[in-house]
Structure 1
Amino acid sequence: MKIIINYLKPHFNRMIVGFVIKFGGTLMDLLLPWILAYIIDEVVPQNNINKVLLWGVAMFFCALFAVLGNIIANRMAAGVAKDATRVLRNDLFEKITSLSFNQMDSFTEASLISRMTSDTYNIHNVIGRMQRLGVRAPILLIGGIALTMTLDPILSLILVASLPLLGVVVFFVSKKGIPLYIEQQSMADLLVRKVRESITGIRVIKALSKTNYEEKQFEKINANVVSKEKKAAIVMAITNPVMNFLLNMGWVLIIIVGASRVNVGLTKPGTIIAFLTYFTIILNAMLSITNLFVLFSKATASANRIEQVLNTCEDLKQVTNVYVDSDTGSYKDSDANRNEYADANSYKDSQVPYRIEFDHVSFSYNKNYYSIEDVSFTLKKGQTLGIIGATGSGKTTIINLLMRFYDVDSGVIKIDGKDIRKYSHDEFYQKFGAVFQNDTLFEDTIYENINLGRELSDKQVEKAAEYAQILDHIKLMKNGFGADVSIKGANLSGGQKQRILIARALAKSPQILILDDSSSALDYKTDATLRNDIKKNFVDTTTIIVAQRVSSVMNSDIIIVVDEGKLVGKGTHEELLLTCQEYREISNLQLGK
C-alpha cells in the first residue's frame, strides 16, 4: 500500500486535524455508557433529581459533540479521498499516455481502462473509509476494553480472551482474499475488452446476424467474472459470521457471569448495563474492522495493479550515445565497445543528404519472426514516397518504426542525418503530421478536431481544411467549423472524416507528412486533387503515402513495394512496371493495363 501512502502525504495535515476531531467525537461516544452506569449506580440511589438532570445534560452534550465531530471529520475524510484520488488518476492517465505501443500491447487497453476506473475507485473507497472507520473503530475497540476494565476486570477478561481468536480469523481470511481479488480484477479486464470490441464492431455484428453469438460470448465471460466475484465474496464473508459467533458467545458468558456476580453483590446493575453497552460497541467496532479488511484487500489488489503501470520504466528513452553492434546489427546506447556511430552530429541542415533514411532495418512484434526485414531506403526533403503492398505485408510497421512507436530490432532510422533515438520526444514529434488507419475523431467541434489544442490560428485551420478538400462542405454545415462531431465521427461520412483528419495533419505545416491509407473513402477525383494541392502548397514537406491503390502512389518520386516484410521493388511508377512483377500485377489489375 506504499502507493496510497505516497498520495496521502500532501494531505497529512488535514488528516491529522480530522483524526483529532474524530478522536474527540469517539471519546464522547465512549463516555455515554460510563455516565449512564454512574447515574444508575451512584446518582439514582441518592434520590436527587437535580443531579440526575445535570448528568443527563452532560450526556446530551457528549452526544451532540460526538455527532458534530463525526460529521466534520467525515467530510474532511471525504475531501482527502477525493483530492488524493484525483491526483492519482491524473498521474495514471499521464503515465498511460506515455507508454510505448509495446507496453500498451502488454497491458492491453481493456486492462488500462479497468485500472483507471474500478481500481482507482477501490483506492478512493479505502482512503475514505480508513479515515472514518479506521480511526473510529480502533478507538472504540481499545477504549471500550479499557473502560470495561475499570468497571469490572473479571468480566473484561472474558472479552479479552476472544480477541486473539478474532485476529487469527481476520489474518488468514485476508491473506486468502487478496489473490482472489486480483483474479477478479483480471477477469473484469476481459469483460471490459469484450464490451469495447462488441460496441466498436456493432455494425459488423448486426450486418452478419451474429448478435446471438456475441451474447453467448459475453455471457461466458460474464459468468467467469461472477464466479470469481462469488469465490472472493464467499471467502471474505466468512469473517462476519465467525466474528459474530465468537463475540456473541462472549456476550452470553458475560451475562451468565455478570448475573452471578450481581447476585452475590460483587457487581452493580448499572455496571452490567454499561458493560453490555460497551460490549455492543466493541462488537460493532470489530465488525467495522472486518469490513475494512475486505476493503483493504480489494484496495491492495488494485494498488498493486496501478503500481505496475506507474512503475513501468520508460521504454523509448532519448539516448545520447548510439552505435551499431557489428555482430548483431542492432544499435546500442552505451559507449562500451563502440564500433560505429549511428548518426552524424557534424551535419548542418544544408548538408544533410536525406530527410529520412532507413538503413537495413528489421523488426518483429512477437520476436518470433520479422514483420519487416532488412528494409533500406532514403528520401530527400520535399520528396514523396509511396508504399504499396498486400494487407499485412508490413507497410504500417514501417510507419510505426519511423514515428518511433516501437524501436527497431536491428538497423538504424535517421531523420535529417540524426538517429531518431537521439531526439527528445517533443522535438521529434513536432516534425510530423499524420493520418493513420482507423484514426480517431473526438467528441468536439470540427475546429477543435483540426486544432487539437495546438493553438493554431483560424487562418491555419481554414487553410488546412481547404487543402484537405473539406472547406466547402464545412461552410455548408450548420455552425460551420463550430459544428459538433460525435464520438469517433459517427455523424460524418467516411470521406468527411478522412478529410478532417488530413486537415488536422496539414494544419501545422509538418516537415514529414504521413498518410497511412487515408484516402480509401475518397473518390479518385478528390484523391487526385488532394495530392496535387499537397504537392503544390507543401513543397518542403516530405510525404509518405501508404495505400492500396496504385493511383494514390503512382506520381510519387519513389515507390517501394512491400511483400511479407521485405522490399521487393523500389523506383518510380514507370521503373517498377518494368522491374517489379508484384507491382506490375497490382497495376494491371487496378488500372486495367
Structure 2
Amino acid sequence: FSLFALKAKNLFLIAQQQLDKLNSTIQQNLAGISVVKSFVAEDQEISIFNEEADRLKDQRIQVGKLLSAAFPTLLFVVNFGVLMVLWRGGADVIEGSMDIGALIALINYIFMIMFPLMMLGMVITMFARASASAKRIKEILELATSYRPSGKGKFIENGSITIEHLDFSYPNRTKVICDLNLDIKSGEVIGIIGSTGSGKSTLLNLIAGFYQPSSGTIKIDGYSLDEIGIENLRQNINIVFQDPMLFKMSLFDNISFASSAGSDEILKSAEIAQINTFINQLPSQFNTEIKNRGTNLSGGQRQRIAIARSLIGNKPILILDDAFSSLDRITENRLIDQLLDYRKGKTTLIISQKISSVRKADRIALLEQGKISAVDNHQNLLWQNKTYQEIYISQGYEL
C-alpha cells in the first residue's frame, strides 16, 4: 500500500502541474487573442496547446494505468487468500481435523475483510490525489506575504511626502530604486519623468505600500508608513494605474467604485476627466454596462473613466501613473488644466514618459536608473538639464 501511495502521489502531482501549464496556455491565448490574430499565429498557438494537452493526456494515462493495476492486484491477493484457505481448509476437513462449519465461517470472515480492504484502496487513491493537491496549495501558502504596514492611528491630513535614502530591488535582480531622496510639499504638484525601466511605477508601488523598501524611509505628514497603517494609507490615496482596471458593472458604478458618491460628484468627476460628452452620447448614458476589464471601450476612454474614479472624494494624495498615455494632446491639456484646478491644495504626483503630461507641474523630478538626477520646474530643466532637453526634443518639440 505504501509503495502504491507514493507512486500515485508523484503521478498525481505531475499531472496537476501539467494541468496548470495547460490552463496557463489557455488563459494566455484568450487574454492575448488580438495579438495572436494580428501575427497570424493561430496555428502556432494551437500546436502549443495540443502539445500541452497531449502531455496531460499521457500523464493521466499513466495515472489510469496505475489505478487499473492496483485494484485487480488487490482483488487477486484477496481471492488468492480465499483459494489458499479453501485448499488448506478443504484438506483439513477431509482429514477430519477441521469442522466444515468452521471452514465456511473462516471464508465468510475473509469476504467480510475484503470489502474494507477495497475501501482502503480507494482511500489510499484519494489520499494520494489529495496529497498532490495539498502540496500545490502549500507552495502558495508558503509564499512570502505582501508588505502590509501594520500601524494604526496616524492620520493623513496634508499629504506631504518625504522619501529618504530609498532602496528597492526585486528578488534576484539589481536595485531598481537606489538611494532615492525626494521631498514633496503638501499641496504640491510633482511630475516624475523618466525612460522605460527607470523605476517610476516601482516608486508608485512603494509610496502606496504595495512593496516594502529594501532600505530607507517613506514618510507622509512626518509619519512612516508603518505608523500610518495600510488601511489608513490607502483611504487617503487615490491611484490611476498604467493599465486601468474596469469592472463588469455600469459606468456609474465603475466611477463610484467603493464609495458612496452621489450623482453630483460623479457628474463633476466625469466632466473633469473629459468623459461626460462620450457618456451622454450613449443610449443608457451612466447606466451603460461595461464589459469585464472595459473591453468594449477604447484605451483613452478606460483611462478617463479611471481618472474620474480617482477624483471621487478628492483625497489628500493622488498618483497618476502614465494616466494620459492614450489621450490626444488637446484632450490631455484640457483634462490636466481642470484636474489641477480641482486639486488645488492637494498633493498630486504625475508619473509619465511624456513632457506634455508633467510640464504644468510645480516641480518635475527626473528619474534615471532608480535615482533622482534633477528636480526643478519645466522651464529651468529645459534650459539647464541635458537629459531633459533630449527627452523634450525626442517628443517632437523644438528648443
Normalising by structure 1, we get a TM-score of 0.61
Question: Which residue in the other structure is 1:457 paired with?
Answer: 262
In structure 2, which of residues 37, 42, 47 is the aligned counterpart of residue 216 of structure 1?
47
Question: Which residue in the other structure is 1:444 paired with?
Answer: 249
Question: Which residue in the other structure is 1:148 paired with?
Answer: none
Question: Which residue in the other structure is 2:322 paired with?
Answer: 517
What's the CA shift string for 1:410-444, capped at 9, x where partnerless? 22111111111222111011111111112211112
Q: Distance in 1 between matches of 2:222 and 2:356?
A: 31
In structure 2, which of residues 15, 22, 44 is the aligned counterpart of residue 184 of structure 1?
15
Q: Distance in 2 between matches of 1:526 and 1:348?
A: 32
User: Does residue 288 of the first structure (1) align with residue 127 of the second (2)?
Assistant: no
1:566, CA displacement in angstroms? 2.6
User: Does residue 498 of the first structure (1) align with residue 303 of the second (2)?
Assistant: yes
**SS in structure 1 opposite 2:244?**
coil
Q: Distance in 1 between matches of 2:366 and 2:303?
A: 24
In 2 relative to 1, CA 569–221 (structure 1 residues): closer, same or farther, beyond 3 Å? Answer: farther
Q: Distance in 1 between matches of 2:107 and 2:269?
A: 79
Q: Distance in 2 between matches of 1:476 and 1:284?
A: 71
The code of the aligned residue for 2:42 comes to T
In 2 relative to 1, CA 348–453 (structure 1 residues): closer, same or farther, beyond 3 Å? Answer: closer
1:491, CA displacement in angstroms? 1.1
**SS in structure 1 opposite 2:395?**
helix
Question: Which residue in the other structure is 2:293 paired with?
Answer: 488
User: What pairs up with 1:154-303 in 2 under 5 angstroms?
Assistant: 170-256=1-87, 266-267=99-100, 272=104, 282-303=113-134
**SS in structure 1 opposite 2:349?**
strand
**SS in structure 1 opposite 2:175?**
coil
RMSD: 2.9
Unaligned residue ranges in structure 2 (runs of 5+): none
**SS in structure 2 opposite 1:444?**
coil
**SS in structure 2 opposite 1:412?**
strand
Question: Which residue in the other structure is 1:570 paired with?
Answer: 375
1:288, CA displacement in angstroms? 2.5
Contact 1:569 1:579 in 2 (8 A): no
Contact 2:355 2:392 in 1 (8 A): yes
What's the CA shift string for 1:190-234, capped at 9, x where partnerless? 333222222211111110112222233333433444444444444
Normalising by structure 2, we get a TM-score of 0.88
Q: Distance in 2 between matches of 1:482 and 1:280?
A: 69
Question: Which residue in the other structure is 1:425 paired with?
Answer: 230
Unaligned residue ranges in structure 1 (runs of 5+): 1-169, 321-344
The code of the aligned residue for 1:357 comes to T
1:261, CA displacement in angstroms? 7.5
**SS in structure 1 opposite 2:49?**
helix
Question: Which residue in the other structure is 1:588 paired with?
Answer: 393
Q: Distance in 2 between matches of 1:421 and 1:456?
A: 29
The code of the aligned residue for 2:2 comes to F
Greater radius of gyration (CA) = 1
In 2 relative to 1, CA 436–291 (structure 1 residues): closer, same or farther, beyond 3 Å? Answer: same
Of structures 1 and 2, the one with the larger relative CO (CA 8 A, separation 6+) is 2
In 2 relative to 1, CA 586–476 (structure 1 residues): closer, same or farther, beyond 3 Å? Answer: same
Q: Distance in 2 between matches of 1:175 and 1:404?
A: 44
**SS in structure 1 opposite 2:323?**
coil
1:255, CA displacement in angstroms? 4.8
Q: Distance in 1 between matches of 2:379 and 2:86?
A: 102
User: What pairs up with 1:72-83 in 2 under 5 angstroms?
Assistant: none
1:377, CA displacement in angstroms? 1.4
1:552, CA displacement in angstroms? 1.0
Q: Distance in 2 between matches of 1:430 and 1:381?
A: 17
What's the CA shift string for 1:498-545, capped at 9, x where partnerless? 111111111121211111111112121111111111111121321111
Contact 2:156 2:316 in 1 (8 A): no
What's the CA shift string for 1:438-471, capped at 9, x where partnerless? 2211112222222223333333333222221112
User: Does residue 362 of the first structure (1) align with residue 195 of the second (2)?
Assistant: no
Question: Which residue in the other structure is 1:508 paired with?
Answer: 313
1:572, CA displacement in angstroms? 0.9
In 2 relative to 1, CA 468–277 (structure 1 residues): closer, same or farther, beyond 3 Å? Answer: farther
1:348, CA displacement in angstroms? 10
Contact 2:161 2:183 in 1 (8 A): yes
In 2 relative to 1, CA 174–476 (structure 1 residues): closer, same or farther, beyond 3 Å? Answer: same
Contact 1:556 1:572 in 2 (8 A): yes
Q: What is the number of residues matched between the two proteins?
A: 395
Higher mean C-alpha displacement, 479-488 vs 446-455: 446-455
Contact 2:148 2:209 in 1 (8 A): no
The code of the aligned residue for 1:192 comes to N
Q: Distance in 1 between matches of 2:216 and 2:6?
A: 49
Q: Distance in 1 between matches of 2:26 and 2:368?
A: 35
In 2 relative to 1, CA 421–219 (structure 1 residues): closer, same or farther, beyond 3 Å? Answer: farther
Question: Which residue in the other structure is 1:474 paired with?
Answer: 279
Question: Which residue in the other structure is 1:550 paired with?
Answer: 355
**Quick check: which one's helix share is greater?**
1
Q: Distance in 2 between matches of 1:220 and 1:196?
A: 16
**SS in structure 2 opposite 1:178?**
helix
Contact 1:569 1:583 in 2 (8 A): no
Contact 1:174 1:236 in 2 (8 A): no
User: Does residue 533 of the first structure (1) align with residue 364 of the second (2)?
Assistant: no
In structure 2, which of residues 186, 189, 195 is the aligned counterpart of residue 390 of structure 1?
195
What's the CA shift string for 1:373-395, capped at 9, x where partnerless? 12211111221111222211211
**SS in structure 1 opposite 2:379?**
helix
What's the CA shift string for 1:62-82, capped at 9, x where partnerless? xxxxxxxxxxxxxxxxxxxxx
**SS in structure 2 opposite 1:485?**
coil
What's the CA shift string for 1:27-82, capped at 9, x where partnerless? xxxxxxxxxxxxxxxxxxxxxxxxxxxxxxxxxxxxxxxxxxxxxxxxxxxxxxxx
Q: Distance in 2 between matches of 1:262 and 1:483?
A: 88
**SS in structure 1 opposite 2:260?**
coil
In 2 relative to 1, CA 583–237 (structure 1 residues): closer, same or farther, beyond 3 Å? Answer: farther
The code of the aligned residue for 2:266 comes to V
